[in-house]
Amino acid sequence: MVIGAALQKYEWHKHGTCAAKADSLNSQHKYFGKALELYHKLDLDSVLKKFDIIPSESYYKLSQVEGAIENFYGVKPKIQCVHPSKNADFQILGQIEICFDTDFTLMDCEKYVTTQKISKGDWGSGIAVHKASGFSVCDHDVPVYYPLLP
């Protein structure tokens, strides 16, 4: 199984089977097709670029990233970061989630909720870290690095 197929299988079992309760998402083809449609429709990279937030050697305030998304889409995103170490003076932009209701209308994302799959980091900072992804809630007081991808 190639990595892409393994990821697709994982995502389908984790999210798709729940979403499949809706007729419009009741198969892998419909589920991933809708995900791609929404991804292209949102075009988040272009939106961030309009606000001068681009992958670079620069650092951004988390409020800049949140503000750009809230300003353009009118909703609050869920932004997660990777914290390289306990005492790092920056965090890496890891994931931006834009949320939709069951009719695919944009809506505010709920705040990060700790579940059994999420545990506190050993850093004593109260940052919740998702063990599988390494993503955690971004710290508003720490600069955000949006790296260039190879």
CATH code (residue 73): 3.90.730.10
How many CA atoms lie within 13 Å of 10's alpha carbon, on the beta-carbon side? 9
Candidate ranges 22-26, 47-51, 129-133; pick with highest mean pLDDT: 47-51
The predicted pLDDT at position 140 comes to 93
Residues 20 and 68 in one domain: no
Mean pLDDT of 44-58: 96
Q: Are residues 48 and 116 in the same domain?
A: yes
Q: Annotate 69-105 with b (16+ C-beta within 10 A) or e (fewer).
A: beeeeeebbbbbbbbeeeeeeebbbbebebeeeeeee
Determine the average pLDDT of the residues in 96-101: 92
Q: Let me know whether 84 and 133 are in one domain.
A: yes
pLDDT value for 118: 35
pLDDT attached to residue 129 = 43
Q: How far apart are CA 26 and CA 59, in angstroms?
A: 41
Judgement on whether residues 100 and 114 belong to the same structural domain of the protein: yes
Total domain count, the chain? 2
Residue 31's domain spans which residues? Answer: 1-42
Do 7 and 63 share a structural domain? Answer: no
Task: Report the distance separating Cα 138 and Cα 79, nearest Å.
Answer: 7
Q: Are 50 and 116 in a shared domain? A: yes
Residues 75 and 30 in one domain: no
Beta-bridge partner residues of 129: 119, 136
**Mean pLDDT, residues 74-86 taken together:** 92
Binned at pLDDT 50, 70 and 90, residue 102 comes out as confident
Rounded Cα distance between 119 and 35, Å, is: 28
